Structure 1
Amino acid sequence: MNPIYIDLHIHTSENPNEPNNNYDVDTLLLKVKKISQNAPFMLSLTDHNMINKDAYLNLISKTNHVLLGAELHIRNYPNESPYHCHIFFNVNSIDEEVISNVNKILDILYPEKLITGDTSKIPTIEEVVKSLDSFDFILLPHGGQSHKTFDKSIPRNGEVKFDSTLERSIYYNQFDGFTARSNIGLEETQKYFKRLGINEFVNLITCSDNYDPKKYPNAKTKDAGPFLPTWMYATPTFDGLRLSLSEASRFVYCDIISKDWAEYICNANLDNDKISINASLTPGLNVVIGGSSSGKTLFVDSIYRKISGDFSESNYKYFHVDELSVINPSGIIPHYINQNFIINLLSSDDKDVNDIEIIQKVFPIDHAIDEKINQGLVQLKTDLSELIKSVKQINILEGNLIRIPVFTRLITKQKTKENMYNQFIPSDESIETYYLSESQYTQYIKVLDTIDSFISKNPFVNNVTVAINEIKEKLESAFLISNFEFNIKGVLEKYKDNLDEELFTLNHEAQSKKQNKENLLKYFAQYITCLSNFNKALSRISEYDISCETNKIEVSGHQLSIQNSFVLNKEGILRAFNKYLKSSNSISVFEDITPQSLFESNFSKKQPKVDDYDDFQRKVYTEFEKINKKDYKIQTSEGKQFNDISPGWKSAVLLDIILGYRKDMAPLIIDQPEDNLATNYINTGFIKTIKKIKTEKQIILVSHNATIPMLGDAQNVVLCRNDNNKIIIRSSPLEGKIDEKTMVDYIAEITDGGKSSIKKRVKKYNLKSFREEL
């Protein structure tokens, strides 16, 4: 809803006894359009104690949205200066007959329009109200002008108790707001209104108090002070003004106003023999009301499903809701919190608060920590694989070594023939310098592609694709050579083994000693390499130091954090090792870890059972994968932990967080949130949050609680009815009507037990005893 410029204090005549029949309406409208920046506007011509019929008839012939009104003098106390009070009438149309009827009464109340000197004949508010009882009207006294303000009409000697029960009752029922040229210098009036108990729902509208349209919006006197325009977020009608006067948030006081945002769901339409939907939606708060089985949930559920494009789980296919037409210019998919979603989530062991999409977005996710953990796990897998591979090889080598005779038994004086193939088979040390497995080659290529992609997208560095491609060519060449060499080596080893057998048969003892000596040296070399690899892997593991710091943010007074107990260090590694070793073979300190301490013979064979080296490696790694789990924590604004509060308050906290999330301006649809909320929270925290956030995003809220549309000050109300088993859904602003019945009356009837119930509650609350002191 876009703001409306209003000025309800414009004079047409300096002397009300002689109305200006030639008031320049055309000039006034030109000036108003300039100040309103061509936005819609609402005007009223309020002369002293009379209505200028000719000026009004001329004005309504040239513009819409005109309120019939006047500026009255009202006496508060004898011998005290009267105050000026604007009166605005709720009439179906402004015509000659209506104006004449009002003027007849005003002529009786004010036979002399221009008030000077004696004030004893000026009517009191009781007399004004009684005389005009046949009309529906609102009264707005002066509150901040330099003259004739309400506070100056009250004796200052302290002998008068102006806030008596009778007066408070009169003012409570009659004063809907007050006027001034700007929003400064109002303190005295507001103090008196506070004592009368009406300050919270009696708000200011600024007016020009202009007499000359050529000088609009200047006032008659030069000391009147600057004019600050009022912009109203409501329809430009009597009811729009009346409802707005009880809600300060509907008024904005500034020279230049910005238009509302345009990214919202605008309209929903569907018409068949089972249902008729023709509902407009607006920015701000849209409240959906209706009796039982009237289609409230159907309406919001179907809007969400239409926009998201999925009716597979709809419960309303009988109504052909897939044919619903929704105008959603932005294409943004709204967030939808259905009727039982939160309470079902809280009662399920398989779900957490972060299962709500918008809640998950609110939590302070630290991607740097996530990346650090993932890199740590990748490094752990690599180092653990290298460590256990070395242990396994050392275990095998020790088995091989004990099957070779002692070195002195390998000495022989006999001549032995050399196996010529030994000259062509490269040593393990040489192989390590050039061997490239297929998995390593693939990994290197992926890393290079990642680097190339990053730098190509980076606007601050030069492209390196050519250099990357050169490296890829070198890697491919190295991989092909390594693969070729591996195959050749396999052939040579086969021929070497065959020749060893032949040589063995020629001289069994000498050749046996020679082969054992060669194997001994080979095993020694391999053992040293494996032990070196083991120590290097263990050294890298000993330097692990990864833990997670908890970041916190505050949303709507609640503290949100993501806790992760993941810790990767040498102490954690030692605990994991010991968990899968026999208790008798547990390792005391990390520095005591040796290859022998991790031999398969030391593995636990019961609970937990470890099958082999691969199983040990997998189980140790899984220990750290398991602790990499995020725990979403909420500490309420009262300092309590989320898990320790009742389901009703949990729902309240989650709604606080959902409504308080400002990084996402997608519309928010909530179905009957009050079902799981404490009444006190609805009346205070929930309403406060709704009113704050509705200026920033569209809210569509299904409710059967009158507090939400009334105290939440809904911009729009969607009325759902079941008429002879056909669902009818229509909409209107809160101040509007459907089928000639006001939306306020529908709200009272459907959600608040009807106006008779409201009156009875007011009576029982004994509000006449309510009084606030200065």
Structure 2
Amino acid sequence: MIGSIWSKWDLHIHSPYTHQANEYGASTIDEFVDKIISSELSLTGITNYFFFKDNELDEIRGKFQKKGVEHTVLGNLEFRIDQQNKDGEWINVHCIFSENITSQQINSILSTLPISNTTSEGKHIYCSQQSFTDSQIKTCEAVVKFDSLIAHLNSNLKFGVDFLIAACPNGYGGFRPDMKEGRSRAVALEIEKRCQIILGRPQDRNFFLKEDRYPFAKQKPVFHASDAHRLKDVGTMYSWVKAKPTFEGLRQAIIEPDLRVQQTDDFIENTYIKPWFKSVELGGKVFAGEDINFFSQTIPLNPNLVTIVGGRGTGKSLFLDAMHSRFNHQSEHSNARRVSGESLCVELDQGDGTVLKFDSSTNTYSYLHVSQGDVQHFSQKPDDLSGEIKRMLGIHGVEFDPVTSSKISNNLSKYRTFVEYWEDVDSQNQRINTQQYQQSVIDNNTQLIGTLTNPQNKLLIEQYQNNSKSINEKNNFIDQARSTLALLNRHAIEINQKIVLLNANSCSTNQAPLIDESLVKTPINQNIDICNKEIETLTESNSGIARQFRQQGINQDISSLLSKVTEYQKSIDQASSKLDEINQKTMDYQAFVQERGEFALKYKEYIDYQKDNIDLAFQKLKVKQSGWNDEQNELVQEILSDIHINGRVVFNVNHFYSGIEECLNRGKFRSTSEKSTFERLQETFCVRSIDDFFKLLSGEKIINCDGVPTSIEEFFWKPEFFNKGGRFELLNYLYSPSNIRRYLYANADFQYKGKTVNKLSVGQRGTFYVCLKLATDPFGSPFVFDQPEDDLDNEFIMSQLVPLFRKIKKYRQVIIVTHNANLVVNTDAEQVIIADNQGESIRYTSGSVEDGNVKENTGIRAEICNILEGGSYAFEKRERKYGIQELA
């Protein structure tokens, strides 16, 4: 059973058999019943005056049964009592009887009740058709003493089990407890105190829900009813009631008048669209390879508050775990068990009647699921709780700017390439990529050319040397040009592919043109051709110089001489080009160092932004939302009333130096009898705060290197402090965002009831966690919670969680597993699911709190009392408040 759901009731409706003001004319009972059915009424209080026509209720009940329609008929007798209102009208009260009592039983009991009227001879007239006929009194003339009526009913029936009393504050014979007149008001108050139900107007609701109407006043439900005396009035007025359409359901409405009775169609639960899990289908093995299994069944779920109870090992938490297993949850922490369930299927009503079926673990649907142990995990690990707070505030996953991050990565890569370039050595272990080394190459080869020159060949050698230099320059240009073309060939296709994808995006209002390679390749190839022709000319010129040597009769080995000139000049030109390259790379290196420091400041801005983002996100929670009604806004602010969250930038010095140690030659920082490794590292790097850290990264000389103030860049060039590759490990550790967040991050600090996290008990931390969960995601998707009482403060459960569930279930489905009777009874759970394990076969039965009988040990009420400690007391305490004895 789906439990308590909303349906239309009319507690005050006269049938064609009514004794007084009967305007049904020729309408039959069949037509009367058909009109009730077409009006979609689930329960009616069939009303007559003082007594029923013989078998009136039974005949009407039989008609519904014959038509195959489930409908509850309660008896409602209307009495005029011998007290008048301020207009001189006799006040009306109603006695509403259980559906288990027949017309004959009611008439028989009342037939011995004397009314206030007497015969002309002074004899008693009794409350029966026969007595009224014999005395010739009309029902419109009869009155009865209120005290006598109540006493007579109590002596023959069981109050709260067989009957309840209703009063009419308005209309003919109405009383007005909100009147100001002394005596009339006193009479009205006395009548109201002895009634459990008000048959009134929608505008009377708020008045009778006030508990300051008079001392010790209790809330009372107002039922809007038609008081129909003719067919066309049937179904025109009614109340919405959230209960099983039974007399017991009526009792529950008296106990929860604010939650279970509405007088108009536009109440929240009838108009608010919320998604809810409609049913869960179970069957097959619970866990692969184990004997325990689900009995094959489909359990319909109530859209409001569903509570799942059962003894230890009965499978109550497995119900929620099974639901959890049908979704691909993104939560990093969950203690929910993975249930295999071969026939496991969850149905979701999206709120508009559209139903989605989830029958595999690949389904994705976002709802709030708190498994057993989840609260404990976060409450015991404050750092994880901080991360969860950020996720709940909607700021988890705000990464450092990917463009800047890519630039940092590129910077560090190019820096490493330069260092490796700078430290490249020749076969004699000399660094070849230094200005000194390349200048020595130029000087040596210039001297060698000088040794080949004499006054006789000087001019020819200089001309040959200049030609060779030009040839080398042009060959060098050709190499660079071809390298550029190769680079273009490698990347142009990829870039054009990305441009095509970008243009196809719906956001590309303006189409970007593709790269035209020919615009670049054509002039480059033309320049290569020009250089090749010029090289041919210069080569021919050098050949001419060789001929001139012979023509002038210079007595030398011309071929060997010019070959050496060519070789030496090429070395000079290569070294000169290398010098330009070294100077450029050195300038680039200096730019890398400066740029790296600027990137560090970008990270500082990012971490400050994260901190501010936490503050801003929390402040947004405190702002009234225009899309919510007043109750919703008040509810969220009530949840947040004891909570304060603020962002704090954390620099974890211990984590920082732990990572530093991994990158260095540990022998240089080995602990001594006087100082630990940590102390020696801190003494050297002098980083004790966030400000110190950013001074280090920006290049300030804060490192203490044997008493000499040193920058981090200068420190990188001291090889004695590093093992192989350690310099680059430290560089990445200090500047890469993925490493920095290990020791520098923004935390979400919080206070609950004015206490910081280190002063809160585990239960209080859990309470904070649940409050924030609900405040950040209060309405809409279902909220599933496994055994909240295990990890939460008991005071919070009683003073806040119970009232919270009573309010929030209107706006979202709540499903909980619990062994706390108060979370079932005092939250007025719409549906109770009982878990049972019979021979390793788990099955579930469900219903509402108004189902069953405790003394007979039947139904949901009995199960609650049997399973939950204090169940009977919870029922008794709740019902005693309203002066209704417990149904036994």
TM-score category by the smaller chain? 0.7 to 0.9
In structure 2, C-alpha distance between the alignment counterparts of 1:627 and 1:307, rounded to whole Å = 31
- Contact 1:364 1:561 survives alignment (8 Å): no
Rounded Cα–Cα distance in structure 1 between residues aligned with 2:704 and 2:357: 62
TM-aligned CA deviation for residue 674 of structure 1:
0.4
1:365 aligned onto 2:385: no
* CA offset digits 1:379-419 (Å, max 9, x no partner): 12223444554566567323425645879985946544538
Counterpart amino acid of residue 204 in structure 1: V
Contact 1:504 1:512 survives alignment (8 Å): no
Tell me if the contact between 1:268 and 1:325 (Cα under 8 Å) persists in the aligned partners.
Answer: yes
Q: What corresponds to 2:858 in structure 1?
A: 741
Q: Which moved more, 1:727-736 or 1:55-64?
A: 55-64
Cα-Cα RMSD: 5.5
Distance change >3 Å, CA 298–CA 154, structure 1 → 2: same
Of residues 2, 7, 23, the one that matches 1:4 is 7
The alpha-carbon distance between structure 1 residues 152 and 668, as it changes in their structure 2 partners (threshold 3 A), is closer
Q: 1:280 aligns to what?
A: 300
Q: Report the AA paired with residue 720 of structure 1.
A: A
Counterpart of 2:264? 254
Counterpart mapping for 1:599-748 below 5 A: 602-603=717-718, 605-606=720-721, 611=725, 614-615=728-729, 617-622=731-736, 625-627=739-741, 631=746, 633=748, 635=750, 638-642=753-757, 644-662=759-777, 665-722=780-837, 727-737=842-852, 741-748=858-865
Q: 1:40 to 1:161 in 2, by over 3 A?
A: closer
CA distance 1:330–1:529, change in 2 (3 Å): same
Distance 2:108 2:224 in 1: 28
| Equivalent position SS for 1:9 | strand
Q: Say if 2:241 and 2:262, in contact at 8 Å, map to a contact too.
A: yes
Shift of 1:458: 0.8
Residue 667 of structure 1, CA deviation = 3.8
Q: Which amino acid aligns with 1:104?
A: S
Shift of 1:702: 0.9
Pairing of 1:66-77 with structure 2 (within 5 A)? 66-73=73-80
Greater mean alpha carbon deviation, residues 153-162 or residues 710-719: 153-162
* Secondary structure in structure 2 of the residue aligned to 1:183: helix
Residue aligning to 2:45: 44
* 2: CA distance, partners of 1:503 / 1:308: 84
Aligned residue type for 1:148? G
Q: CA deviation at 1:343?
A: 0.9
Q: 1:569 to 1:536 in 2, by over 3 A?
A: farther
In the alignment, residue 196 of structure 1 is paired with which amino acid?
F
Q: Does the C-alpha gap of structure 1 residues 254 and 186 become closer, same or farther in structure 2, counting only changes over 3 Å?
A: closer
Q: Partner amino acid for 1:8?
A: L
Confirm or deny that 1:210 pairs with 2:238: no
Deviation at 1:243, TM superposition (A): 1.4
Cα distance between partner residues in 1 of 2:180 and 2:738: 78
Could you tell me whether the CA contact under 8 Å between 1:394 and 1:531 is conserved in 2? no
Please list the CA deviations of residues 12-34 of structure 1 after superposition, one character each: whole Å capped at 9, or x if unmatched: 48984697896655665666567
Count matched residues. 710
Q: Do structure 1's residue 344 and structure 2's residue 374 form an aligned pair? A: no
TM superposition score normalised by structure 1: 0.73
Residues 650-678 of structure 1, C-alpha deviation per residue, up to 9 Å, x if partnerless? Answer: 22222223344548855443221101111
Work out the CA distance in 2 between the residues paired with 1:245 and 1:434: 92
- 1:330-359 Cα distance to aligned partner (Å, 9 max, x none): 23556543222321343358844656xxx7
Match of 2:633 in 1: none
Give 1:151's aligned amino acid. P
Q: Return closer, same or farther for 1:583/1:274 CA change in 2, 3 Å cut-off.
A: closer
Q: Secondary structure of 2:357's partner?
A: coil
**C-alpha distance in 2 between matches for 1:697 and 1:573:** 51
Q: 1:113 to 1:745 in 2, by over 3 A?
A: farther
Contact 2:17 2:53 in 1 (8 A): no
C-alpha deviation, 1:10, in angstroms: 2.0
Would the aligned equivalents of 1:274 and 1:725 in 2 still touch at CA under 8 Å? yes
What is the alpha-carbon distance in structure 2 between the residues aligned to residue 95 and residue 559 of structure 1? 61
1:57–1:733 Cα change, 3 Å? same
Query: CA–CA distance in 2 between the matches of 1:766 and 1:753?
Result: 17
CA distance in 1 between partners of 2:726 and 2:475 (Å): 29
Q: SS of the counterpart of 1:331?
A: strand
Residues 30 and 585 of structure 1, relative CA distance in 2, 3 Å threshold: farther
Q: Is the 8 A contact 2:81 2:144 kept in 1?
A: no
1: distance between equivalents of 2:216 and 2:324? Answer: 46
Q: Which amino acid aligns with 1:254?
A: T
Local SS of the residue matching 1:605: helix
Compare 112-121 and 522-531 and name the one that shifted more.
112-121
SS of structure 2 residue aligned to 1:7: strand
Q: Distance in 2 between matches of 1:104 and 1:41?
A: 30
Q: CA deviation at 1:206?
A: 1.7
Following TM superposition, by how much is the alpha carbon of 1:639 offset from its aligned partner in structure 2, in angstroms? 5.0
SS of structure 2 residue aligned to 1:70 = strand
Residue 681 of structure 1: CA displacement?
1.0
Of 90, 95, 99, 1:91 maps to 99
Within the alignment, does 1:133 sit opposite 2:255 as a pair? no
Would the aligned equivalents of 2:369 and 2:784 in 1 still touch at CA under 8 Å?
A: yes
Cα distance per residue 1:542-600 (max 9 Å; x no partner): 654532323213264256677677999998385275799773698779xxx9xxx6596
Q: Equivalents in 2 of 1:120, 1:664: separation in Å? A: 51
Question: Which of the residues 365, 371, 377 maps onto 2:405?
Answer: 377
Cα pair 2:77 2:96 within 8 Å, conserved: yes
Matched residue type, 2:356: S
Q: Any unmatched runs of 5+ in structure 2? A: 117-125, 128-136, 286-291, 330-334, 349-354, 359-364, 424-432, 540-556, 622-635, 652-688, 884-888
| Residue identity matched to 1:208 | S
- Report the identity percentage: 16
- Correspondence list, 1:189-588, <5 A: 190=210, 195-199=215-219, 202-216=220-234, 229-247=238-256, 248-255=258-265, 257-258=270-271, 263-270=276-283, 276=295, 278=297, 279-305=299-325, 321-322=341-342, 329-331=355-357, 336-348=369-381, 351-352=384-385, 354=387, 362-365=392-395, 370=399, 373-387=401-415, 389-390=417-418, 396-401=433-438, 403=440, 412=450, 414=454, 415=458, 416=461, 418=465, 420=468, 423-424=471-472, 426=474, 435-436=483-484, 448-458=496-506, 461=509, 467-468=513-514, 471=516, 506=561, 518=573, 521-534=576-589, 536-537=591-592, 540-541=595-596, 544=599, 545-546=601-602, 547-548=605-606, 549=609, 550-551=612-613, 552-553=617-618, 554=621, 556-557=639-640, 558=643, 572=694, 574-575=696-697, 583=705
**CA drift at 1:297:** 2.2
In the alignment, the residues of structure 1 paired with residue 796 and residue 789 of structure 2 have an alpha-carbon distance, to the nearest angstrom, of 9
CA distance in 2: counterparts of 1:538 and 1:301, whole angstroms: 54
Distance 1:430 1:181 in 2: 98
Would the alpha carbon gap of residues 231 and 188 (structure 1) be closer, same or farther in structure 2, given more than 3 Å must change? closer
- Shift of the 301–619 alpha-carbon distance from structure 1 to 2, 3 Å rule, reads closer
Unaligned runs of 5+ in 1: 219-226, 496-501, 769-774
Q: Is the 8 A contact 1:541 1:570 kept in 2?
A: no
- CA pair 305-540 structure 1, distance change in 2 beyond 3 A: closer
- CA spacing shift, 1:376–1:76, aligned 2, 3 Å: farther
Residue 69 of structure 1: how far off its partner (Å): 1.9
- C-alpha distance in 1 between matches for 2:502 and 2:112: 82
Separation (CA, whole Å) in 2 of partners of 1:17 and 1:9: 14
- In structure 2, the partner of 1:222 is none
What letter corresponds to residue 772 of structure 2 in structure 1? I
Provide the rounded CA distance (Å) in 2 between the counterparts of 1:430 and 1:568. Answer: 52
In the alignment, the residues of structure 1 paired with residue 387 and residue 216 of structure 2 have an alpha-carbon distance, to the nearest angstrom, of 48
Q: Which amino acid aligns with 2:401?
A: I
